[in-house]
Chains A and B, each alone.
Chain A
Amino acid sequence: MKSLEELAKIREEAIKKVDIRREREGTRIVVGMATCGIAAGARPVLMALLEEVKVRNLKDVLVNQTGCIGVCRLEPIVEVYKPGEEKVTYVNMTPEKAKEMVAQHIVNGKVIDPYTIGAIE
């Protein structure tokens, strides 16, 4: 160890791997991962979300899975909880849509209406 910068670099790298254990109060992205969700392809969606959040280094965003959300025919379903805003439910998600959603909704704050449950129903 030769300098504070060297230590900081190691820390930056290492934090990415343990970040999940910190408490946070930011946005929650929840993927329905019951039997219906998994069968409809929720797993690749979840992984795409995780990857996108990591790549963009979004520190206060938590990606998590949940059980059956209830509208199994519209799975994979992704719900976004932003503090102080109403919950947004995205349906028929794909990994591509998921990445787009992170960019548009999470980062830029614009809900992609065509993907939401309101547009489909």
Chain B
Amino acid sequence: MEIFRSHVLICGGTGCTSSGSQTLIETFHKELEKNDLTNEVKVVKTGCFGLCEAGPIVIVYPEGAFYSHVKIEDVKRITEEHLLKGRIVKELLFKEAIEEDKIRSINEVDFYKKQKRVALKNCGVINPEEIKEYIAFDGYKALGKALTEMTREEVIDEVKKSGLRGRGGGGFPTGLKWEFTYKAKGDQKYVVCNADEGDPGAFMDRSVLEGDPHAVIEAMVIAGYAIGANQGYIYVRAEYPIAVHRLEIAINQAREYGLLGKNIFDKGFDFDLEIRLGAGAFVCGEETALLNSIEGKRGMPRPRPPFPANKGLWGKPTMLNNVETYANITKIILNGSDWFAGMGTEKSKGTKVFALGGKINNTGLVEIPMGTTLREVIYEIGGGIPNGRAFKAVQTGGPSGGCITADHLDTPIDYDNLIALGSMMGSGGMIVMDEDNCMVDIARFFLDFTVDESCGKCPPCRIGTKRMLEILNKITSGNGEMKDLDRLEKLAKNIKASALCGLGQTAPNPVLSTLRYFRHEYEAHVTEKRCPAGVCKELLAYTIDSELCKKCGICAGKCPTSCIDGVKGKEVYKIDTEKCIKCGACMEACPFNAIDKK
């Protein structure tokens, strides 16, 4: 039998792949060969470790040594020092992996310590392209248990009791959805996985599919058994090529092992899966639009009811769940609903995965128990705001969510608390903003996105969001009036009340929540024609402080429109604001920070 004394895990998620982890893998193979270690050390490509900011990431077991920002030239050293001689290369470790000269393993680093990995349990631990590794970590045990020891009703009951709610954003109780579809009458039923993740800055589902595709497949088979379906579809966007590739491999392996197909576990239950690729329309994340898209129709929503549980794919009862929701199912079946319900808050059980981004030190993927406060996520796990800037707000829920201010940082995260604050859980995007972010501009950015992605079927969304965007553009360009703020608010409320689907109903949220918490910024734009954060170009004027100016002339040399005048060494420089195009090149170039924008 082959025995490997050491495993080198290299992240093969999208983030690390784009920073060159594939070449790292090849280089490790070459170096190991050179040192005659190929029979002793195994290189494993895994899914996302979560700390994308530090990528490419390499973990060496059994020590759990956590190397970050690994470059091609580091591979030789890691191989010769660590793998051959057993000396961990300290200066290549992740900065927090060394404390007072003591080396800490990956699980002891702050970023991971506070996390609780349920949906991401196997991500960064197993090779997602190898079903045996999944099985080694209790894979398909839940399916075995469900099929051989539990009735369909018991499975649904267990999911219901766990308190699991939809992780795609809606937060609808998953068990109820299963029960509705189970009770729906029909000879043919379907199970669908919604992997059409589209929020700007969100990549939770992608990471689960890339790092642990079998977890989703296994859960879908369990779901099929519970509701009485024998066919499933995974709707995933074509712009996730690594996820699609690994899903294909995983489905084929599951078929090979008889975990998909006919007579699974000899219980007379058949189930198979197919992948459907989406073209990347945001609206296709809405369930009825998604179903239309699977059927080959244009991805547009339709009014509900009837809900898909009664009338879904090709008019048959269909159960849709999000990727992360499925990723929780196998653990609930294995560990029991009580275990799952033991985590989280009264009405939000379990954990939630967040994609942490924006002005934050540890950009990446985190999974925390519900009820963890925003402060813990941002400061303890996320490592706080870079460059000593002040925290301003955190945006959750993407284009459907809203901004939460510093006053509410101690709020425990759960579905209901976030809604009460005018935001929402959404699928789990979390974008941190500091004092250099203009909140009007943020609202404009998200609205611009929804205007682009509106399918155009219903007028409130098609016309309403467009009008809102026009007003926002008017404000950010310095032409706003106070009446516009009231107009915005009125429009927003009307759209929320009348749009056809979730996209339109939530599209005004970024505007409403910034109006609620940052009205003073809107007012500064309107009455003072000033952007307090210095973002909205048309409201900015670059000026040179005559006392700080050292008359060096560097700024004048950089100006593309030659609008800076002065005499080198003799006369302070001045910007002609009429000609200035506000590119900011002078400000960046000035060695004395004498240039200001206001």
Q: Which residues on A are within 8 Å of B, measured CB to CB?
A: 1-4, 7, 10-11, 13-18, 20-21, 23, 31-35, 38, 46-47, 50-51, 54, 62-67
Contact = CB atoms under 8 A, between A and B. Distances in A.
Nearest to B141: A7
Nearest to B1: A54
Contacts of A35: 85
A47 B141 CA distance: 33
Most chain B CB within a 10 A radius of its CB, from A3, A20, A21, A32: A21
B86 A67 contact: yes
A34 B85 contact: yes
Given A2-B265, A50-B5, 8 more contacts: A11-B138, A11-B139, A14-B133, A18-B7, A21-B7, A38-B84, A51-B3, A67-B85
Given A7-B144, A62-B62, A46 B85 contact: no
The 7 residue pairs across chains A and B that have the minimum distance between CB atoms = A65-B86, A14-B136, A14-B132, A1-B258, A67-B87, A2-B266, A66-B86
A67 B86 CA distance: 5
Contact of B62 (A20, A31, A38): A20
A66 B82 CA distance: 9
A18 B133 contact: yes
Contacts of B63: 64
A17 B44 CA distance: 11
A75 B78 CA distance: 23
B148 interface: yes
B86 A20 contact: no
A33 B9 contact: no
Contact of B61 (A21, A32, A46, A66): A21
Contact of B85 (A13, A17, A65): A65
B178 interface: no
A12 B7 CA distance: 19
B266 A3 contact: yes
Interface in B364-413: none
A1 B85 contact: no
Given A14-B132, A33-B85, A50-B3, A7 B258 contact: no
Contacts of A54: 1, 3
A20 B141 contact: no
A21 B126 CA distance: 9
Interface string B226-261: 000000000000000000000000000000011100
Contact of A1 (B84, B125, B259): B259
A20 B6 contact: yes
Interface string B135-156: 1111111001100100000000
A20 B1 contact: no
B121 to A, nearest CB: 12
A2 B259 CA distance: 9
A80 to B, nearest CB: 16
B266 A4 contact: no
Contacts of B148: 3-4
B142 to A, nearest CB: 11
A73 B85 CA distance: 17
A64 B144 contact: no
Interface string B1-13: 1011111010000
A103 to B, nearest CB: 18
Contacts of B64: 23
B442 interface: no
A20 B84 contact: no
Contact of A17 (B5, B87, B132, B139): B132
